[in-house]
Homo-oligomer: A and B are copies of this chain.
Amino acid sequence: MIEIREAQKSDFPRVIELITELAIFEKEPDAVEISIEELEANGLGENALFKCFVGLYEGKIEGISICYPRFSTWKGKTIHLEDLIVTENMRGKGLGKALYDKVLIYAHEQGVRRVEWVVLDWNKNAINFYERTGATMIKDWYLAQMDAQSLENYINNL
């Protein structure tokens, strides 16, 4: 009943629904500034910035996983898992694991020395799942971010 495949252009309206659902779960409902056009422009074709897998349950897209390459100056090319989303009422059916496995299989095919992602510290279910698969949680780094307005301010004052 589960099928995992790469996203096609016609899937992106559903993909953005799932992205928005995750933002609400992560308590940042207004954080999604991206448009469908931007997703399509960056997720399809030769110069795509990311790879999107969709997970179908009984023929309907109920989850996605999104990943892209990064580069560690210690380990070389890595794969970053950006999003792993299953719509709330379809959890517990194995779709999340199938989408996660697909990214790990892809990373293994690419021969990378590391797969990496981030997880909210209160998301115990996710952390337990990741640790059972052999991942390590690293707790002594902060994420640092400069947003568009702060960047603009900083550049203007150089």
* A residues lining the B interface (CB < 8 Å): 19, 23, 28, 31-34, 38-39, 42, 49-50, 66, 68-77, 80, 82-83, 101, 104-105, 107-108, 112-122, 127, 130, 133-148, 150-155, 158
Contact = CB atoms under 8 A, between A and B. Distances in A.
A138 B144 contact: yes
Given A33-B74, A82-B71, A153-B134, A145 B121 contact: no
B146 A115 contact: yes
The 9 A-B pairs at the shortest CB distance, nearest first, are namely A134-B150, A138-B143, A49-B71, A50-B71, A137-B142, A113-B148, A115-B146, A135-B146, A118-B141
A122 to B, nearest CB: 7
B83 A73 contact: yes
The A contact surface, by secondary structure, is: mixed
B33 A113 contact: yes
A130 B118 contact: no
Contacts of A148: 112-114
Nearest to A23: B74
30 contacts: A31-B74, A32-B73, A34-B73, A42-B77, A49-B70, A66-B73, A70-B70, A72-B82, A73-B82, A101-B158, A105-B158, A108-B151, A113-B148, A115-B146, A116-B143, A116-B145, A116-B146, A118-B142, A118-B143, A118-B144, A119-B142, A119-B144, A120-B140, A120-B141, A120-B142, A133-B154, A134-B154, A135-B144, A135-B150, A138-B143
A34 B143 CA distance: 24
